Structure 1
Amino acid sequence: MGLSNFMPPGSDDGTGNGGGGGLPPRSPSMGMPSSGGPPDDVTDLLVDYNEKFKNADPTMFRDTLIEQVLSVVISKTKPNALLVGSAGVGKTKIVEDIARRIALGDTLIPDQLKNHTIYELPIANIIAGTGVVGSLEEKVKAIVEFASDPKNKVILFMDEMHQITGGSSSHSDATGRKISQILKPALARGDMSVIGATTSTESRAFDEDPAFARRFSRLIVDELSVEQTLAVLTTVRPGLMAHYLHRIGVSDDVLGSVVQIAEAISRAGQHRPDHAITLLDRAMADRVLEQKKLIVQAENAGDTALAQTLRFIPQVPLTSTRVLDVAKRLMTGNAQRKDLDIAALGATLTSRLQGQDEVFATLMDRLTREELNLFPTKTPTTWLFAGASGVGKTETVKLIAEGMTGMEPIILNMTEFHSAWSTSKILGAPPGFVGSDSNQELPFDTLESNPHRVILLDEFEKADKAVQRLFLSAFDEGYIRNAHGKMLDFSKALVICTTNAAQEALDGRMIGFGSNPKSISNQSLTRALQQAFDAELLGRFSLVVGFNPIDRETYRQIMAADYERQRERIVEAKPRLAQTLPASMPDDELRAIEEATYVESQGARPARKAVRIWIEDHLLVAQTGSTAVTSPSDD
């Protein structure tokens, strides 16, 4: 989308069919031009950019690109330019500004282009009403004849030009190919001048038709810098304020905040200056609605004086806080990240999981630093939890997700992704493969509605290398594209991978940074993990922590804590049944169960089952007076 869609309100909107640029007058009696002009049905298909944008604001920072376009268009052979750039960088705006300069007789315009008219040819206008066989060809041929006639002095502009190349799955129908095949001869002879625009991704469609692509000179439209975007906002501000009847004031400081917030809170694939202009526009609109709501509330409450005061405030200032709030809603809809209470989360972790206090202290310190947001990035926060089975890695992720988002994490069991083809379970099937047209929800589709999620990639070392490299791209760039080209934005997520690798390095040794002879350094842990992961993948994790193995004493603590939680739950659910349960498990019982069920390689996993069996046995004895059939050692 070009910047034309954000043209400051109040400038001449144009009709899109006005005459200009040397178009001869029409005969009032016949509806046909007096000589050499186009028939009515051709001009009805076109939009006169000279007339539409003659009063538009000049584009900024694009003089070099405009000169490049002009140099291509006045060439003797292949006078056709293709503008390629990311969506929102201002490709269409460049063409609009050239049309404005031609209409106003700008001195930069070469003599060969004076009195020319730039007409946009919307693809939809060609296709509409072509149900009759041959009508499409007649339309295109009439346009070619009109644009090729030197008397008409026409430059055609085709936005989203990839639609007629037949190179993408969504537009590879016969209609697009017919249009391009009719255009090719005229383009090759240089009889007509065409300016096309397409995105960087969709420009790959031209590779499917090399004969068509070689008739164009490709010009790259780069994204504006932050400083240039701020200057553009300063230019569009008067038009936006006029659109909102000058009831919303926007200071220079707020404009600077708009640029910063747009950079920090935006989806992958949004580019300057488009997303900053959109944010400013939406924030001003939101402020208008908020002011109206306050007036209505005052009237409903019977406070006429307050309502009158609010109604006659000459100008309401837009604040940076309002802009930030709107940016978050544009990013996530109504799904907002809940306020994180780090102290409460730390207390929950230490009370629910035993033996990992040093690990939790490290995690809370890292979360505290992340909350400062001193160094915003476009990449996700990535952690790697290493440790033996049953030490609490997965449970820790679930508790962090609950504390940060109030929701369960997005969980992928990486043992299911054991082959290179498993990427289709994440990205969908590529076009042409079985399942490519399926509407089945993919695991990361929910990121579109709420990118502030915790993602758990469990047992990451068991995934195929191709799957690991797929996530390497997400860690490095902040996004990946699915099989249909849709961007999956990971930039606001916390991605935590767990692994059972490096158990030999962790067994019997505590993780820490002190003088404990059993401690293992992060460097040693990372070296041990390199046996399971590529070095470049490990380098993408901002934090690598090793969970302590569960010894016998910790195992007893886990059982005691789990018993207390289960007893509280039973007391609430079945208070009469819970009357015989003691407040805590006796030490001798804990030691007996520990002797019977503790397996070093399984960590804390047997503890929960052993506690449940002990509670059942105790209640059965209390109810029937008989000895329970099952004991923890039986399992």
Structure 2
Amino acid sequence: MGKRAVIEALAKRLLGRKWLVLEAGHTDIIANQKYVGDMEGRLQTYVKEMGKPRRLWFIPDLGALRATGTHDQKRSGALHLLLNHFEAGDVRVIGTMTPSAWETLQQALPAVRGIFDVIKVEPLDGPGTLALAHSWLAAGTDPAEPLPANDRVIDEAWLLAQQFLSDRAAPGNLIQLLDQTRRRVMHAGGTAAYDRGDLVATLSELTGLPASFLDDRQSYDLQAVRSFFRERILGQDEAVECLVHRVAMLKSGLGDPSRPQGVFLFAGPTGTGKTEIAKVLAEFLFGSPERLIRVDMSEYNERGSAVRLLRANSPQAEAGGGSLVSQVRQRPFSVVLLDEFEKAASDVWDLFLQVADDGRLTDEHGETVDFRHTIIILTSNLGARVATGTGVGFGRPGEDFRPQDVEKAIEGAFRKEFINRLDRVVVFRPFTRETMRELLRLEIHKAERRRGLRHREWATIWDDSAVDFLLERGFTTDLGARPLRRAVERYLLEPLAGIIAQGRSPAGDQFLFVHANADRLLVDFIDPEATPAAPAAGVSLDATEGGDIPRSGCCWTATAARPNSRRWRPCTRRCWRASARMTCAGASPTGWPRWPAPTSGMRKTVSPCSTASRTSTAWRAASRARASCWNGCRRRRAAFAGRVRRGSCRRRCWSSWPEACTCSRRP
């Protein structure tokens, strides 16, 4: 609101009178300290040097000195050591604090009331802020050049600063937006003048939100938003619709500006996607799941542990994570996940009553932390104690799951005043077998994108028997998707890791036919360049000896890039034209089915660059395999053709398991 500007103006006047002004805050005092006593020695040096005539010590965030240098064995900080010098007049000092921090400091150290003279700097109103912005721009511009922004742009900047930079008071938020916009435009080599688009681009850098989300002039395709969530979160349509509606509220600016952008409780059985949907929301809004602030509430199950959430960490601690208020202060635009909230102590619940109502918390130093730009998601496993069904008789698994039982458990666990502050309670349902089959497809696709597999020239064909094998060992309605993930790790990745680590995997282009029998998973490596006289290059692994590689009934990785992407459309068309001319490996032009035509499921994006490379590999391998087998003996050709048939390299396979869309593009 101008505290620093006032001090800088004072410093300029003092410098003209031959004064020395030193700026050193709590971070400068503890910088590069290694041993006990280093801080005390540095403070003595400051007092000695700044006690000389015509010298002034400027301490930004004066209240932070109270905790500087404290630890478990030492409760007094740097401010305690300096108070005697301040009171005696040995040092001339000026500092800045917020009003709430000053009140907290007076309660902790009553002696400061008689030491410091308090000067209140009030924030400017709207007209005063706009007038100051015009003066600031004119002062920083060459008189021979036009102003970098006109009145209309400054008015729009003021509206944007009020909406998205409300954690800073006026006129600081407006000046910050204008200053960074001018710097960004000049750095890009643009002209001195800038428009609303430049303001939105700067605001996108400051907040992490996409420019299309911030610009009111750009519309949003909510159906594309819905598809983005449904492709990543399966079987939870109510939760998806909840977030789609919230995104629409954020885009339209109709949310309550005095509260967080959303406070939701996601409850239900474990492993049903409650944590995953929070990551997907952070990825959609900010481009990365790393913008998720996750707090494990089971660590705050003791009474009095709420103080750890309010701890104002040092910059070193904040770089490694820090407390909740420290992380939100660093990233005010974020998704906050409070995992397993029901396990926290009751005083922690009371703490978040204030957050849900006012959108703010006060840390241990009295500094206010703004939660109004966050979306808060609370998760609870209360539904895990409700019967989810075991498929007795002719009923399907999970049919006897009743959401009202979960809601009743929530009402019995939380107080009414807490539930009344939630925007919505969403019950997550246990997965059906059909949904788990789709989840398995996603898990295997994620595995294929890992570092050890994505660079290999392999085209994988799955058989239904391997899919059923993994589902039998990983499907459970009460534990969700985590057992399925463990099944993929145990029966697919661990055995495959053993093959790769021992150098037993064939090099070059390979077809991987993955299948299973009653008690194990198998994989056959087929080299399309093998000579007709050579035996089939295959490797089979026993799950009982460390596992095998599963197989199922779909051509899995050989998919084309996104057709509606401009970069990949020419490549995609070439691939489909090539596939239309190409017969299956080992097939004659008249006697065998052709490579399938593209379907809508195949056209969905799977990491465009990786997919295009694997597509090209698959077609080249198929062509070489066809030539190799067709020129070989009849017995070799018939055996290979049988494998292709069993690998379901036909049209029905492409339609049975459509490809997963893992495109990271936001609509």
How high is the TM-score relative to the length of structure 2?
0.53
- The one-letter amino acid paired with 1:442 is G
Q: Distance in 2 between matches of 1:287 and 1:342?
A: 32
Change (3 A) 1:477 1:328: farther
Gaps of 5+ in 2: 22-42, 69-76, 214-220, 390-398, 493-513, 525-537, 548-667
Question: Residues 538-557 of structure 1 correspond to what in structure 2 (within 5 A)?
Answer: 538-552=419-433, 554-555=435-436
SS in 1 for 2:337: strand
Using the TM superposition, give the Cα deviation of residue 389 of structure 1 relative to its aligned residue in structure 2, in angstroms: 1.4
Offset of 1:400 from its aligned partner? 2.9
Q: Does 1:131 align with 2:48?
A: yes
Counterparts of residues 596-615 of structure 1 (less than 5 Å): 598-610=475-487, 613=491
Matches of 1:162 and 1:446, distance apart in 2: 18
Q: Which amino acid aligns with 1:390?
A: G
Matched, 1:179 2:86: yes
Higher relative contact order (CA 8 A, sep 6+): 1
1:272 to 170, 178, 187: 170
How far apart are the structure 1 equivalents of 2:438 and 2:111? 74
Find the aligned partners of 1:436 and 1:420 in 2 and give their Cα distance: 27
- 8 Å Cα contact 1:384-1:496 kept in structure 2: yes
Partner in structure 2 of residue 361 of structure 1? 241
**Residues 98-497 of structure 1 aligned to structure 2 (within 5 Å):** 131=48, 136=51, 172-181=79-88, 199-204=98-103, 205-207=105-107, 210=110, 213=113, 222-233=122-133, 236=135, 239-240=138-139, 246-266=145-165, 268=167, 270-290=168-188, 293-294=189-190, 316-329=192-205, 331-332=206-207, 337=210, 343-344=223-224, 346-375=226-255, 377=257, 379-408=260-289, 409-423=292-306, 426-428=309-311, 441-442=321-322, 447=328, 450-483=331-364, 489-497=370-378
Measure how far apart 1:257 and its partner are. Answer: 1.7
Instruction: Call closer, same or farther: CA 1:422–1:440 in 2, change over 3 Å.
Output: farther
The alpha-carbon deviation at position 480 of structure 1 amounts to 3.6
SS in 1 for 2:139: helix
Contact 1:240 1:281 survives alignment (8 Å): no
| 2:266 alignment partner, SS class | strand
For residues 8 and 20 of structure 2, the distance between their equivalents in structure 1, rounded to whole angstroms, comes to 26
Given that 2:270 and 2:384 are in contact with CA atoms closer than 8 Å, whether structure 1 keeps it comes out as no
> Could you say if the C-alpha distance between residues 596 and 420 of structure 1 is closer, same or farther in structure 2, counting changes exceeding 3 Å?
same
Question: SS of the counterpart of 2:272?
Answer: coil
Give the direction of change, closer, same or farther, for the CA distance of 1:127–1:385 in structure 2 (3 Å limit): same
**C-alpha contact 1:8 1:238 (8 A) present in aligned 2:** no
Q: Distance in 1 between matches of 2:316 and 2:11?
A: 46
Deviations 1:377-416 (A, max 9, x none): 2634332211111222222223333333332333333223
Give the alignment of 1:579-594 within 5 angstroms. Answer: 581-582=462-463, 584-585=464-465, 590=468
Q: Say if 1:411 and 1:458, in contact at 8 Å, map to a contact too.
A: yes
Aligned to 2:382: 501
The alpha-carbon distance between structure 1 residues 455 and 209, as it changes in their structure 2 partners (threshold 3 A), is closer
Q: How far does the alpha carbon of each residue in 1:358-391 deviate from its partner, in whole angstroms, 9 at most, with x for none?
A: 4323332332332223447263433221111122
Does the C-alpha gap of structure 1 residues 559 and 271 become closer, same or farther in structure 2, counting only changes over 3 Å?
Answer: closer
After superposition, the Cα gap between the structure-2 partners of 1:533 and 1:220, relative to the gap in structure 1 and judged at 3 Å, is: farther
TM-aligned CA deviation for residue 458 of structure 1: 1.9
**Residue 260 of structure 1, CA deviation:** 1.3
Higher Cα Rg, which structure:
1
| Percent of residue pairs bearing the same amino acid type | 23
Cα-to-partner distance string for 1:4-35 (whole Å, 9 max, x where unaligned): 827999x99756667xxxxxxxxxxxxxxxxx
One-letter code aligned to 2:170: R
- Distance change >3 Å, CA 158–CA 606, structure 1 → 2: closer
Q: 1:44-80: CA deviations, max 9, x gaps? A: 689xxxxxxxxxxxxxxxxxxxxxxxxxxxxxxxxxx
For the Cα contact (< 8 Å) 1:419–1:464, is it kept in 2? yes
Letter in structure 2 aligned against 1:180? E
Measured in 1, the distance between the counterparts of 2:240 and 2:63 equals: 57
CA–CA distance in structure 2, aligned partners of residues 15 and 595 of structure 1 = 79
Determine if contact 2:263/2:423 at 8 Å carries over to the other structure: yes
CA contact (8 A) 2:204 2:211 kept: no
In structure 2, what is the equivalent of residue 620 of structure 1? 522
Task: Report the Cα distance in structure 1 between the residues aligned to 2:163 and 2:318, rounded to whole angstroms.
Answer: 34
State the secondary structure of the residue aligned to 2:276.
Answer: helix
- Once residues 517 and 437 of structure 1 are traced to their aligned partners in structure 2, the CA distance between those partners, rounded to angstroms, is 48
| Alpha-carbon distance, 1:548 to partner | 1.8
Relative distance call for 1:199 and 1:243 in structure 2 (3 A) is: farther
**1:267 to 1:627, Cα distance in 2 relative to 1, 3 A:** same
Instruction: Name the CA distance, whole Å, in 1 between partners of 2:268 and 2:153.
Output: 48
CA distance in 1, matches of 2:438, 2:318: 49
Q: Structure 1 pair 519/339, CA: closer, same or farther in 2 (3 Å)?
A: farther
Q: Distance in 1 between matches of 2:122 and 2:89?
A: 31
Q: 1:248 to 1:3 in 2, by over 3 A?
A: farther
Runs (5+) with no aligned partner, structure 1: 19-42, 47-125, 144-156, 184-193, 295-309, 311-315, 509-515
Q: Note if contact 1:506-1:546 (Cα within 8 Å) is conserved in structure 2.
A: no
Q: CA deviation at 1:180?
A: 2.1
Superposed CA RMSD in Å reads 5.5
Deviation per CA, 1:172-224, whole angstroms, max 9, x where unpaired? 244432332469xxxxxxxxxx9998531342334456566369997865434
Q: Map 1:558-597; keep pairs closer than 5 Å.
A: 558-559=439-440, 578=460, 581-582=462-463, 584-585=464-465, 590=468
What amino acid is aligned across from residue 173 of structure 2 in structure 1? H
Aligned residues: 458
Judging changes above 3 Å, is the alpha-carbon distance between structure 1 residues 129 and 464 closer, same or farther for their aligned structure 2 residues? closer
Distance 1:480 1:559, change over 3 A: same
Structure 1 residues 398, 425: CA separation in 2 closer, same or farther (over 3 Å shift)? same
Q: What whole-Å deviation, never above 9, does each CA across 1:481-501 have from its counterpart, x for those lacking one? A: 555666655443333221112
Distance 1:397 1:440, change over 3 A: closer
Cα distance between partner residues in 2 of 1:254 and 1:455: 33
